[in-house]
Amino acid sequence: MVKIHERKFVSADPDKCVGCQICEYICSWTKEKAFNPLKSRIRVVRVNQLANMAVTCRRCEDPPCVAACPRDALTQSEETGTIMVDMDKCNGCGWCIEACDYGAIMLHPETKVVHVCDLCKDEGEPQCVKWCPEEALSVVTSDVLAQKARISAVKKLFQESKEKK
């Protein structure tokens, strides 16, 4: 089974993400040799001008998408945590889409089967991370995210106590 320190996924820093969609373009280009956000495995959300964030698969523990699939078309790689889609079994019913809390699994507009981020396993590294001009995207584990949050919280605390002195 994949260990907690190895379950990597692409995460966007909302402070840095500006909603430019370059991740969408490079994803669809990498996967399908076409510019088309509908074929991207990462999608940008702009709630308003100040709130931008790209969202893609989090590679959850006990992924609800896998559990939801009535045709056993989805499986999770024990080695990496990647959600794998059996194109022959998937009929595009969309239960996995409904089950995903992040909207990170999507229906391909032409093949009508679902697609999901695989960290560009054929390219060696996720192209969205490589291309993001803001360095807003990074490959992380939940543990790294927690570490980062802890570090910035402690830094802030010390900064504040310094200022008070």
Partner 1 sequence: MYGYAGIILHVDLNTGKTHVEKLNEDYAKKYIGGIGLGMRLWLDNSKAGVEPFSPENPLVLALGPISGTMFPTAGNGHAFVSKSPETFAIGEAVAHGTFGAEMKRAGYDAIILKGKSEKPVYLWIDDESIQLLDASHLMGKSPAETEDAIKDDLGDYYIRVAAIGLAGENLSRIACIINEKTRAAGRTGLGAVMGSKNLKAIAVRGTRDIVPAKPDEFMDMVKEFHERMKGPATQKYRTLGTPENVLVHNALHCMPTRNYNNAHFEGADKVSGEALNEKFVAKIIGCSSCAMRCEHEVVVPEGPYKGTMTRMEYETLWAMGPYCGIDRLDTIIKGMELANYYGMDAISAGVIASFAMDCYENGILTQKDLDGIEANFGNSEALLQLLEKMGKREGIGDILAEGVRIAGQKIGKGAEKLAQHIKGLEVTGYDLRCLKTAALGFAVSFRGADHNRHGAYAFDVKGKVDRLKAEKGRGKMVRDMEDTYALIDSFIVCKFSRGTYYKELADMAKLYRLVTGIEMTPEELKKSGERINTVARLINIREGLGRKDDTLPWKVMNMPIPDEGPVKGAFVSQEELNLLLDDYYESRGWTLEGVPKAEKLKEIGMTDLLSIVKGKQEA
Question: For partner 1, which is the closer residue by CB, 107 or 144?
Answer: 107
Alpha-carbon span 40 to 106, nearest angstrom: 9
Q: Which residues contact 22 (CB under 8 A, 6 or more apart)?
A: 128, 131, 132, 133
Q: How far is the CB of 42 from partner 1 (least distance, A)?
A: 14
Q: How far is the CB of 163 from partner 1 (least distance, A)?
A: 19
- DSSP, collapsed to helix, strand or coil, labels residue 95 as helix
Question: For partner 1, which is the closer residue by CB, 78 or 101?
Answer: 101
Footprint of partner 1 (CB under 8 A):
18-22, 25-26, 29, 32-39, 48-50, 52, 109, 131, 133-134
- Both tokens of 121, joined, read 């396993």
Question: For partner 1, which is the closer residue by CB, 79 or 101?
Answer: 101
Q: How far is the CB of 18 from partner 1 (least distance, A)?
A: 4
- The secondary structure of residue 42, as a DSSP letter, is S
Q: How far is the CB of 129 from partner 1 (least distance, A)?
A: 14
* Contact criterion met (CB below 8 Å) for 101 and 62: no
Residues β-bridged to residue 137: 12
- Both tokens of 141, joined, read 């584990």
Q: How far is the CB of 72 from partner 1 (least distance, A)?
A: 29
Question: For partner 1, which is the closer residue by CB, 18 or 68?
Answer: 18
Question: For partner 1, which is the closer residue by CB, 98 or 143?
Answer: 98
